[in-house]
Chain A
Amino acid sequence: MDPLSVFTIVGMGIVTYITRIGGDLLMRNRTLGPRMTAALNAVPPAVLTAVIAPSVLSVGPAEAIAGVVTLIAAFRLPLLATIMVGVASIVLVRSLL
C-alpha cells in the first residue's frame, strides 16, 4: 500500500468518526424545546432526501421517471421489494427512451 494513500484513508476515517460522535457529544444532557425536537425528528427524511435528490432529479428523465415509480412502490411495498421495483423500472425506462 502507498503510504500517502494510507494516510489519506486514515484521515478520512478520523474525520468521519468525528462527525459520527460529534452530534451526540454536542447535544447530550440538553433538554430541548418543541422546535428543536421537531427539527431533530425531521433530520432522517431531510438528510436522506438531500443526499439522493440530485442523482434522481438532476441526471436525466430516466432516473426521474424511475424515481417516481420507486416512490409510489415505497408506499405499498417492503424495502427489498421497493429496491427491486426501482432497479426493474430504471432498466425498463432506459430501454424505452
Chain B
Amino acid sequence: MREGQIFWREARHGMMAIFPICVAAIPIGLVWGALAVERGLSKYEIGLMSATVFAGASQFVVIGLWASPLPVIAIIFATFMINLRHIMMSASLGRNMQNFTAAQRLVAFYGLTDEVWALSEARALKAPLTSAYYAGMAIPLFLCWVSSTIAGGAFGQLLGQPEAYGLDFVFSAMFIGLIVGFRSVPAWLPVVAASAVISVLTYQVLPAPWFVIAGGLAGVCVAALMAPRATSETAEL
C-alpha cells in the first residue's frame, strides 16, 4: 500500500512536470501532421512514424526529404544523424537510472525525448529519479504527440498558415525555456554560446543534420576544457 502511494505520488509529479511540454507539443504535432499529409503520408503512416520514431526534430527534417521515389537510405541516415544526440543524452541519463530494473531501462529509453530527458536530468539534480516519475512524463507526452500528429494529418488544412499564429515558433520557444532551466550547470554561458555559434556556422556550410552534432560537441568540449577551474570554484563556495 505504501509503495503504491509512493508510486502514484511520483507519477503525479512527473505528469505535473511534463504538462507544459504536452501543451506545447499539441500545436507542434498539428503543424507536423499537416506538413506530412501535404508530402503524401497517410494518417496511418503519420501515426506509425510518431509512435516508432517519437522525435520531433528528426520528423520535421525527414518530411523535407519525403518524395517520390522515396529516398529510403537518405531518410534513415538523416534520422540516425539527427538523433545521434540521444547517445550523449542516454550516456548522461543512464547514471541517474540506478533505481530502474533492466527491463524498465529498455522501455524507458524508447521514450527518451529531448524534453523528457531534460526534465529527468533537472529532477535528478534535486531528488533521485524514479521509474514512476519517468513514466508519468513519457507516457502522457507519447500519447499527446501521436494523437496530435494524427489530428494534424486529418484536420491540418484548417490551420491555414501556422506562421500567422506564431505556431512555428513554439518549438524554438520551448527549447529556449528548457536550455535556461539548466543554467545551474557549471560554465553554462560558455557552453551555450559555443554550441550556438558552432551550430549556426555549421548550418551555413554543411547539410542538415551536421549542425546538431557539431554544435553539441562544441559545447561539451568547452565544458570539459573548463572543468578543473569550474570544480575549484565550486569548492571555494
Contact = CB atoms under 8 A, between A and B. Distances in A.
Interface of A: 1-2, 4-13, 15-24, 26-28, 34-58, 63, 66-67, 70-71, 74-75, 78-80, 82-83, 85-88, 90-91, 94
Nearest to B230: A38
A71 B227 contact: no
B157 interface: no
B211 A47 contact: no
A47 B216 contact: yes
B83 A15 contact: yes
Given A9-B52, A45-B195, A17 B110 contact: yes
B87 A22 contact: yes
Contact of B92 (A6, A41, A51): A41
Interface in B77-133: 79-80, 83-95, 97, 105-106, 109-110, 112, 114, 117-118, 121
Interface size of B as a range: 35 or more
Given A9-B45, A12-B62, A53 B76 contact: no
B139 interface: no
Interface in B217-234: 217-224, 226-228, 230-231
Nearest to A82: B177
18 contacts: A10-B52, A21-B90, A28-B94, A35-B228, A38-B226, A42-B191, A43-B88, A43-B91, A43-B220, A44-B89, A44-B117, A45-B219, A47-B85, A50-B211, A50-B214, A58-B204, A70-B172, A85-B173
A46 B76 contact: no
A43 B45 CA distance: 32
B216 A20 contact: no
B169 A90 contact: yes
Contacts of A47: 85, 88-89, 114, 195, 212, 215-216, 219
Contacts of B182: 44-45, 48
B223 A20 contact: no
A49 B221 CA distance: 14
A35 B196 contact: no
A91 B167 CA distance: 9
B34 interface: no
Interface of B: 19-21, 23-24, 41-42, 44-45, 48-49, 52-55, 57-58, 62, 70, 72, 75-76, 79-80, 83-95, 97, 105-106, 109-110, 112, 114, 117-118, 121, 163, 165-183, 185-188, 191-192, 194-196, 198-200, 203-204, 211-224, 226-228, 230-231
Given A1-B42, A57-B196, A57-B200, A9 B48 contact: yes
A82 B48 contact: no
B76 A8 contact: yes
Contacts of B217: 46
